[in-house]
Structure 1
């Protein structure tokens, strides 16, 4: 049977176009029920059971559930529980969910795909007995509600007439739409609200905790504490008239009454203060902002203001008193350049709520079900949830989802999702790190694993014939100990036919041979975007069979590679460059230390040692050339944990040491990345995936320059070349660590390097400030970075080694891909740092140490100090009754002791575990001794001797060192730019 769909659309030129589409209806679509004796099901097509018991006390017969769209959108945490089964999901609902929320849609597909759950997808839009036409003037939502009711009614009738069992299942429509329920009841359909149904489910006591709280309309909120939000139409009109501005809200970590939003047209972020100013915005939300007149603009506060530990109920403190406290803290000598535009949130454009990790603070009222949830992320407000499991959950890390924030509630409302494990346990805390930083870490799906070759795969002979055979070339890899995802190898040899010239090759794992575009494996890798390295584990971007085996360039094994080969002269000038797919057989997989020994042992004259010496000599010349050109040699405190081989708990930690071989590998990775970037930009000027590093704005250097000047150094930051030269000259012979410290501080002034599509920026914007090169990309780590996978595909297309895929040339798709790559890259960095902090806390649970420290920054109420031995840094809090803060010169003064940036101190390190949510490393001053403030270290076997500050090699700042899990040790991997 055929029917037609007719609708009107407007073209870009303003013309009205009438579109008529034929819609095919069938009468042979299966109902999916084993209770039906009419639909010609095969054995594997039955999804819904024929004989079932009711799990809901409201109904005494077994039944099927039909869900409306909002039930799925708001109650997905309930639907994912095993309690509910024999559920019918209509095509109408699937299409609506897909249109409104792709994340929920994917979760729903996973439930439908789990055969044990018995969720049946029924194509009601193509069944002649369930399809409904849209009436003239009828809203889409009303038509869809009518389609859902029609399908529900058909199911009930179909089963009652055609049942193969006497007591056939009932069909119940679950909907929270009161008007829809009322109409359904008038039509004779059995229906129920989700809340009523779940609260009467037996045998699953924790299910009710997962119910999402209904949203209270802005206009209907009683006893309002907050101003009403503007409607979407009002917001759109206000933005169009430029009376309102759109921005993303970023909450303060230190002051719950303050946040900012970046708005186009304003150089500085807009300051939002107070309950009314923030008006229920949560970190990450897209908000509509009204900017205040300039006379009301002010400076952000620099004090710590935390929410009360106890739930104060639905009331707000005297905001005037709190804001006055903030004003007093910022009233002294406010310069005009410190004044910030100020405004308030008047509406929410789009919520960016997610599930949040944290702990439950049970109510002190006996038998209470309403409790306060304290998120691990300080920028997220506390949340009210209802649970009857508070005694059990009080000792657990838990996951909570936000549902709504009514105007009459101090805190947002949410619901319990699941427990993560005991507070303080390694597994639970690692899970918190991964969830809070949005790191995809689920096991690879069956669809992804189905894309992999067999475990015993070997290179086919026909594939070898397509490639350049380099198996006889002395190729070797150099990596940290225990590295299993080896994605690069090198070779170098003198050219007999051209004295003073060398052939040098960088060989990169050919991941794209296995990860083909559009496959489930490719989609998953693109979503993950990067491998994430924690101290004791690695979250792979691609499955282990590829990352640690078939793609890993292990010693003595034949591997597919993508090679970049140069001819260099003795001064490391590039004379020619060629790229090709290849087959290699690495002679050795070496550690940095092993490679360094091979270079230094003059008695070694084998091919590997000779190759490494050539590479090392040329790398030093390449590095000198880069630095002379203005590349920055910056530094960051990096540490290496030694972990127990069984428990994976840290047992020792030390600052990372840099060898010449670290720099050797880095230089050739940089050269390969630059070479590939130039080639891609020439071949694909509109769609090359590149990486740029914007120059930092001058304001970023203000504090840094002042601190350097206090030590007698004038740092010229007008260009990166003058900056590099100034850093080289800023040396204090008696303090060898000073220059490294200066470079660490310079790193803090930098902006993030980002991926971008060449067609979205001008050529001037391609520039990489840190490396001082006009063009750059990432080619050398496709095992752990999806950006490199795309670059490999582009390069292969240039060379005719692979076909060009349409997605590679789609600028819009490339821009979206770059956004995800940049986001995942940042989150991976933050997760790595959080893992270091967690293991630091574990290490110091039963130890106290006295160590040398250096002041990195001077704050109003604290010094930010660095422990060079470990690379730790943190705040040393100073009491205001003893110290006077010089805001102009950034000094802290106590009597005749003045503390400033770069000062050397002696610090006592210990762990404060009193706050289960936020354990922290405590820094206490030992020297210089200030009576009544400095601590006197007790004589204890746990107190270690004070260590001298030693220097460490600096490095180019661009990428974080990657970390690798090994047996007994865990070290970060070399920098790959």
Structure 2
């Protein structure tokens, strides 16, 4: 009888490699497995399959078992088609290849294997543990016989199927919110059903509505929240006033933007007998109205922040609170939390007091009115005679505190901001630089001082605090910054330790130079992001040892937490320290994430409206500065509007250009012409992609001559 040919399996190969725990050449493996030449082809296929699955790796041409790691993490996709898995407790996120992103959506929590592919670790998703979203915003598109929903979110790399019957109701390009009925799994397609029709871009401007839907931002409050707010009394009980420090006779006032309706803070100042400055920073006592455990508090925590968009604001608190009960409106009795600070002539904090108060603001000033009074405007001096002297004293104190902060190494990035002016229909009518002047700086400086003082107080009395921390920058990022600065002709010796003063000096050395704003931006980009934590790591950018957010409880939940902690400390209440720290760690993570979301939404809204505005300026020529150089082109920020656009290198027809990555520039092969970071160029607006907030530019003819 003929001997039966031996068949090998993946299981056998894995078992052998796992038991030996060392690499083997292909022929060694074949010999150990006892297979003939015919079976070697099968072995090759098995090894190839195991390598792709991450179960086998190749070391110096030899095969060995790959110890796989199972992890749980959150999916963070990128517009380019790949993503990363964020794993708690791991410093570095793990790469997710494009084919794995076909199974998941942004924010999904997944169980995955870590494999090694081409010498690098990457993820193979096993299953989804928790879906981050159950709806998607997209455009209805017909594709041959199918009906598709194309997501508007650039981070969603899945096309969803709609039923053909449902598709008949909608015009091609109609934007809808759809419920996901079948999630993607890598094998069968994802399916959706239309839940809400937003409209068609040709019929009305949808950008901000789409943004709100895309990020699933709350626009209404739950009924139980509104019911709780309705029950809040507009009258302050006499017994509440009696137990607080009564400062209603004091000359305090608010300084805010012209369109502001919620006034978080009021300020007052006086001289002490020693000639020192006594500064009062009064903050709206939101914690009196928003109690822990209420539906109102839960909703505020969930939102975390007020989201500011160019045409509207999505408030953390309902209007009755944000613009009414809590807002420090002029000539109304209001409950406040006061931080009283005494500074000497050098700006040293001599003493402080933190307490609950009742105040009555004597004026509501805009920043421009405050500036006009400081420099001397007779009409405004007559209108607000009682604030003239305090305002000028405040400017003096600001100069003193600012000088002291500079001596400590505080970094003032002072980047120009663009304000998008919109009409009553939400259409952008202009993009103008937002002017910041001494009145803004006075209030900013006073708020920083109050924030530092309350953090110092909680530290001094031994109570936990939700600190606002800003860690030193990552060394790799700083080295990249120094490399870019070197390309700009600025050589700086790398110090043994990165201190705030080091970065402060870089910014100062570029003051008054054409590259000044670019260097400020690049330096800011090298910094880590500030966040909330109960563990005090200091605030690097402000060169502050202790810092917390206390001054904006109407629009920031972290400030409300700090108010509650301050009240516990003032009453001397005992707390379960470990339990409180655990809560603050959880709150810090949630609120840091919500803050990132609020920033992203605001930036995206501004980019979309800038693109919408620039549509009316197609073909116009602007002067701008090159702010970024990448392989496919360079980014230019237009000086007039602070709008950024891309000049693709293939649009430069006068020469062939080589990308010199280390020097952040393009060099012409024949002409030697250079386009580098920081150069001033003239560009023409070529095209606009409103949906993605992208602007295409081309060099104006004279730039290429």
CA contact (8 A) 1:405 1:412 kept: yes
Give 1:245 deviation, angstroms.
4.1
1:892 aligns with 2:628: no
- Residue 245 (structure 2) aligns with: 468
Residue of structure 2 in register with 1:939 after alignment? none
- Asked if 1:756 is matched to 2:533, the reply is yes
CA distance in 1, matches of 2:664, 2:112: 34
Among residues 640, 658, 665, which one is paired with 2:443 in the alignment?
665
TM superposition shift of 1:519 = 1.1
Alignment of 1:739-754 (within 5 A): 739-754=516-531
Match of 1:249 in 2: 75
8 Å CA contact 1:865, 1:874 repeated in 2: yes
The answer to whether the aligner puts 1:619 opposite 2:395 as a matched pair is: no
Asked if structure 2 preserves the Cα contact closer than 8 Å seen for 1:636 and 1:747, the reply is no
Q: How many Å separate the matches in 2 of 1:808 and 1:537?
A: 40
Find the aligned partners of 2:208 and 2:101 in 1 and give their Cα distance. Answer: 32
> What is the 5 A alignment of 1:690-701?
690-701=467-478
Is the contact made by 2:255 and 2:370 (CA closer than 8 Å) also made in structure 1?
Answer: yes
Cα distance in 2 between the residues matched to 1:520 and 1:583: 26
**Who wins on radius of gyration, i.e. which is larger?**
1
1:637, 1:872 within 8 Å by CA — same for their partners in 2?
no
Distance 2:635 2:121 in 1: 28
**Alpha-carbon deviation of 1:616?**
1.3
**Partner Cα distance (2:185, 2:449) in 1:** 56
Q: Aligned pair in 2 of structure 1 residues 808, 641: CA closer, same or farther (>3 Å)?
A: farther
TM-aligned CA distance change 1:741 to 1:382, over 3 Å: same
Indicate conservation of the 8 Å contact 1:655/1:868, yes or no. Answer: no
1:650-706 C-alpha deviation (Å, 9 max, x unpaired):
211211111111111001100111111112233354x42111112221111343222
CA contact (8 A) 2:113 2:126 kept: no
Name the residue aligned to 2:137. Answer: 357
Counterpart selection for 1:902 from 666, 678, 683: 678
Residue by residue, what CA displacement relative to the aligned partner does 1:164-189 show, whole Å, maximum 9, x if unpaired?
xxxxxxxxxxxxxxxxxxxxxxxxxx
Work out which of the residue numbers 310, 334, 337 in structure 2 matches 1:559: 334
CA distance in 2, matches of 1:423, 1:648: 14
Instruction: Find the counterpart in structure 1 of residue 7 from structure 2.
Output: none
CA contact (8 A) 1:847 1:910 kept: no
Among 822, 846, 849, the residue aligned to 2:616:
846
**Relative to structure 1, is the Cα distance of residues 804 and 549 closer, same or farther in structure 2, using a 3 angstrom cutoff?**
farther
Deviation at 1:406, TM superposition (A): 3.9
Given candidates 167, 170, 175, the residue that maps to 1:397 is: 175
1:506-542 CA-to-partner distances (Å, cap 9, x unmatched) read 0001111111111111111111111010001011111
Q: Deviation of residue 752 (structure 1)?
A: 1.4
Q: For residue 45 of structure 2, what is the aligned residue in structure 1?
A: none
CA contact (8 A) 1:272 1:342 kept: no
- Give secondary structure in 2 for the equivalent of 1:866: strand
**C-alpha displacement at 1:454, in angstroms?**
6.1
> Hey, what does 1:730 align to over in structure 2?
509
Q: Specify the alignment match of 1:379 in structure 2.
A: 155
The offset of 1:807, in angstroms, is: 11
> Which of 199, 207, 212 matches 1:429?
207
Q: Deviations over 1:277-335 (max 9, x none)?
A: 656343333445544558x23xxxxxxxxxxxxxxxxxxxxxxxxxxxxxxxxxxxxxx
Instruction: Please provide the CA RMSD for this pair.
Output: 2.9
Could you tell me which residue of structure 1 aligns to residue 389 of structure 2? Answer: 610
For residues 83-232 of structure 1, the aligned pairs below 5 Å read none
TM-score between both structures, scaled by the size of structure 1: 0.60
Q: How does 1:780-929 map onto structure 2 within 5 Å?
A: 780-800=551-571, 810-848=580-618, 849-879=620-650, 882-894=656-668, 895-909=671-685, 911-912=687-688, 917-918=691-692, 920-926=694-700, 929=703
Task: For 1:919 and 1:673, locate their aligned partners in 2 and report how far apart those are by CA, in whole Å.
Answer: 36
Distance 1:805 1:451 in 2: 28
SS at match of 1:400: strand
Give the whole-Å Cα distance in 2 for the aligned partners of 1:264 and 1:514: 35
Q: Would the alpha carbon gap of residues 384 and 651 (structure 1) be closer, same or farther in structure 2, given more than 3 Å must change? A: closer
- In 2 relative to 1, CA 878–501 (structure 1 residues): closer, same or farther, beyond 3 Å? same
* Contact 1:281 1:345 (8 Å CA) reproduced: no
- Residue 930 (structure 1) shift: 2.3
Residue aligning to 1:592: 367
Q: Which residue matches 1:145?
A: none
In structure 2, what is the equivalent of residue 719 of structure 1? 498
- Structure 1 residues 446 and 438: alpha-carbon distance in aligned structure 2, compared to 1, 3 A threshold: closer
SS at match of 1:857: strand
- Between the aligned partners of 1:701 and 1:874, the Cα distance in structure 2 is 26
Match of 1:362, SS state, is strand
Give runs of aligned pairs for residues 280-679 of structure 1, distance below 5 A.
Answer: 280-293=103-116, 296-297=118-119, 341-354=120-133, 355-365=135-145, 370-387=146-163, 388-393=165-170, 394-402=172-180, 403-409=182-188, 411-423=189-201, 428-441=206-219, 443-452=220-229, 457-495=234-272, 497-498=273-274, 500-601=275-376, 604=381, 606-644=385-423, 646-679=424-457
- SS of the aligned residue for 2:160 comes to strand
Q: CA deviation at 1:869?
A: 2.6
| Counterpart residue number, 2:84 | 260
Partner of 2:4: none
Partners of 1:593 and 1:917 in 2: CA distance? 35
- Paired with 2:297 and 2:98, the residues of 1 have a C-alpha distance of 46
Match of 2:42 in 1: none
The 3 A distance-change label for structure 1 pair 435 and 819 is: farther
Cα distance change of structure 1 residues 808 and 451 upon mapping to structure 2, 3 Å threshold = farther
**Structure 1 residue 437, shift from structure 2 partner:** 2.6
What is the alpha-carbon distance in structure 2 between the residues aligned to residue 807 and residue 373 of structure 1?
51
Residue in structure 1 matched with residue 549 of structure 2 by the alignment: 778
For the structure 1 residues 575 and 899, does the alpha-carbon distance in structure 2 shift closer, same or farther, using more than 3 Å as the test?
Answer: same
Confirm or deny: 8 A CA contact 2:141 2:173 kept in the other structure. no
Q: Does the CA contact (< 8 Å) of 2:421 and 2:428 recur in 1?
A: yes
Cα shift at 1:502: 2.1
Structure 1 residues 835 and 293, CA gap change in structure 2 (3 angstroms): closer
Q: Deviations over 1:94-149 (max 9, x none)?
A: xxxxxxxxxxxxxxxxxxxxxxxxxxxxxxxxxxxxxxxxxxxxxxxxxxxxxxxx
Q: How many residues align?
A: 628
